[in-house]
Structures are given as structure tokens and as C-alpha cells.
Amino acid sequence: MVPATLVLTGVDIRYQASVDAVRDLSLTVPRGGIVALLGANGAGKSSTLNAISGFLPLLRGRMMAGRISFEGEDTAGLAPHALVRRGVLHVREGRHVFADMTVEENLVAGTFALTGRRAVHRRGFDEVYGYFPILAQRRKGQAGYLSGGEQQMLAIGRALVAEPRLMLLDEPSLGLAPRVVAEIFAIIARINREKGTSILLVEQNAVMALGCAQYAYVLENGRVAAEGSGASLAADASIRELYLGVGADGAARSFRDAP
């Protein structure tokens, strides 16, 4: 049996002791696998990623219960930069490139993730530029002037510099043209295949996500409402209705009501 990269068991997340964002969530990302986390706005997808990457305390959130283990070690409570240095890279929703810096300076910022893992020196970033040739052309340009797709590429490339073992991708398709989305997903699949990087992918674009994920979880109001292989979820009638936009009546339904 291949050991899992990431295991969440019974995770509860709460913000400022008021709203429950996530309740009793358990999920597994197998080594070298791509797992998708689907669901509507506010279902708890980003909260889950923030718990894994240690951002919750910075966002006034707390993990009330449950365990998070990365490569067999309990990592809940570690500082975000410490997690990054172990190889857990979170590519946040909305890209968040450093707009005032050049493309290359953004990549240099990414090298801080290598602290303590091996000697850090200014490399040529050939690997990143290999996956994203457009970034090589723009390397001296300000990141703020890149297109949305290029900024997303830079955000992923910046994580790639850190030699990630697990990448948490939050909405990489957000606000991008379909052609660009397809291009980015193809590169994500290539990175996973060629480098063996495990990926947990949060997406609203369920078609794209289920297309490249081996396994997927559907969150609703902070709970897992459905899970299964990418193909089986894509074939499921109620999933199709709620997330793929191919329903018959179009009325919103809860998965817990489903037969």
C-alpha cells in the first residue's frame, strides 16, 4: 500500500468562535495523487486548505478538533513558514503575486521555502521557465503587469521553486479564459506526472477538476456530502446537476437529500 501524503481526520474549523466553517472533515491525498475538493462558495474548501497550510491563526480561525498529518507526522499547529519548508506549498486563491517585484524576484522569494532543506543559492530557475516559457520572456518585467493567466503561472512557478511534496491549489482557474484554464491544468497534470508532486485541488470549475483528479470530495456547508473517484463523480446525476450545470430541473438540492 502506498502511504498517503496527507491525511485529515475529523477536522473542525471555526472562525472567531462563531461560525463553524468545516465540521468533521476527513480526507486523504495519496502519494503522487491529485485529489479535488469541490463545492459551492462558502462550503469550507479554502478553510480546509488554510488549516493544512497553517494559515488559520493568521485569519482568526481555529482548528477545534481533528488531526492533520503530513507524511505521517502531525503538523497541526506548525507555523506556516515551517510547513512550507517541509514541502507543503499553498498557492492561494487570487494568485497573490508580488505585483511590485519582477517575475524573477517573485521566484527568489519562493526560494525561502528551501531554508533548512538544502543550500540556497540563486539558481537560474530553469525548471520553472521550462514549464512556463512565457515567464522566462517576462523575467525582468513587473509581475503586476502580467495577464491573469501569467500571474497564475507565476504563482504556481513560485511554489515549484520550493520543490513541493504537496501542492495545495486554490481555484487556479479563477477568472481565466477557458483556453488559459486548459493550458494551466495541462501543466498541473504534467508537474504531478513528471515530479510526483501530490496535489490537493480546490475548484469551482468541476469539469476541469474532475478531468484531472483521481479522487474528489464534494463539500457542502462544511461537511463532506459526496466523495468518489473523479470518473464516478463526473457520472453521478446529482453531482452533474449541482456542479456541472447539466441538471434537468435546475433547482438547488442538498446531497444529503439525495437517495
* Binding stretches for other proteins (CB under 8 A): 53-55, 58-59, 79-81, 84-85, 89-92, 96, 98-101, 105, 108-115, 122, 158, 162
CA atoms within 13 A on the CB side of 108: 10
> In whole angstroms, how close is the CB of 157 to other proteins at the nearest point?
12
CB atoms closer than 10 angstroms to residue 164: 23
Judged by CB, which is closer to other proteins: 100, or 249?
100
Contact indicator for 216, 228 with CB cutoff of 8 Å:
yes
- Tell me the closest approach of the beta carbon of residue 191 to other proteins, in angstroms: 17
DSSP 138: T
User: 89 vs 199, which CB is nearer to other proteins?
Assistant: 89
With respect to other proteins, which residue has the nearer C-beta, 121 or 179? 121
| β-sheet with 215-220: strand ranges across | 88-91, 166-170, 198-203, 34-39, 215-220, 223-229
Q: Which is nearer to other proteins, 143 or 224 (CB)?
A: 143
| Contact predicate 223/25, CB 8 Å | yes
**Considering all CA atoms of the chain, what is the largest pairwise distance in Å, rounded to the nearest integer?**
59
Taking the complex as a whole, how short is the minimal distance between the CB of residue 219 and other proteins, in angstroms? 22
d(CA 77, CA 54): 7
In terms of CB distance, is 53 or 152 closer to other proteins?
Answer: 53
Phi, psi of 215 (to 5 degrees): -140, 150
Smallest distance, other proteins to C-beta of residue 41, A: 20
